[in-house]
Structure 1
Amino acid sequence: MTTALSRIVRAADLPANRRRGGDIRTVLSPATVGSTSGFMGTVTIGPGEVVTEHYHPYSEEFLYLVSGRITVRLDGQESELAGGSGLFIPIGVRHRLRNDGPEVAVGVFHLSPLAPRPDLGHVDTESLPDEPAAGPGSAP
């Protein structure tokens, strides 16, 4: 059953955010559907690509890797994540994603609760190569 408040949003219809690396698309969010408790999206990381290190001072992050394989760095500790696996990232944990393999990695993420303001949702701790240094409070 679909109510008047329900909305379907296709990731392919949204622009890719590549500011942190990879192809990040925030599919369901306050901006796209008026959500109030969190947001969900997709991340696609090609061979040799990274999503630079950052953390969320207000939100937990849940990442489900649909396909591929990535190296995840959590507060300096690296682990492998394979397709079909989920990862929980607690509030305040620095995290970085890297694809060292030959296949594209595709994941779905969800963050909750929302930060009080969008500009407080992410704190970048590194920049993409050849980018200026990132600072606290950087927005996605």
Structure 2
Amino acid sequence: MTATRQLKVNVDDAVPNRRRGGDIRVTLSPRTVQATSGFGGVLWLGAGEFVTEHYHPFSEEFLHVVSGELVLSLDGDPVELGAGDSVLVPIGVRHRLVNTGAERAHVVFHLSPLAPRPELGHVDTEPAAEPRQANPDVGGPV
């Protein structure tokens, strides 16, 4: 390990991304820690908030619910999730995540492998929740 390579990122230092809804923070990525196989971070959704539907043409997405009650739609089929549940979103499957509980939900995510270029990593299938926010590169600045 070299002294110049950053391997640790605190969530408070990650840029909030609200473009698709909620508070998504990429902590580990090619940009933040020079990751080469995937990227990940955390998501918070307030009661009733959602992440707009999209899919990943090159990556699987792994979700682990730390707290909260959510419904994940996979190609339109609902999957109920609660604290302690983990789920795999296969490559190319449309998905949308909704906080159906009364409390803020907390989710940890990881996607792998990386898309050939960051802009190819997500395909939106419904309008962005915050369309005015720039769509940052994986782990990049807004």
TM-score by length of 1: 0.89
Residue in 1 that maps onto 2:39? 39
Residue 57 (1) aligns with residue 52 (2)? no
Q: CA deviation at 1:129?
A: 5.5
Q: Which residue of 1 aligns with 2:48?
A: 48
The structure, 1 or 2, with the larger RCO (C-alpha pairs under 8 Å, 6+ apart) is 2
Q: Answer whether contact 2:18 2:129 (CA < 8 A) is retained.
A: no
Separation (CA, whole Å) in 2 of partners of 1:30 and 1:104: 29
| Matched residue, 1:12 | 12
Contact 1:122 1:139 in 2 (8 A): no
Partner residue, 1:66: 66
Report the CA distance between 1:12 and its aligned residue: 1.1
Quick one: structure 1 residues 55 and 139, their matched pair in 2 at CA, closer, same or farther if it must change by over 3 Å? farther
Deviation at 1:131, TM superposition (A): 4.8
Among all aligned residue pairs of Structure 1 and Structure 2, give the percentage whose two residues are the same amino acid. 56
DSSP 3-state at the match of 1:116: coil
SS at match of 1:43: strand
Gaps of 5+ in 1: 133-137
Shift of 1:6: 5.5
Determine helix, strand or coil for the equivalent of 1:79. Answer: strand
Q: For the residues of structure 2 that align with 1:22 and 1:128, how far apart are their CA atoms?
A: 11
Corresponding position: 1:80 with 2:80: yes
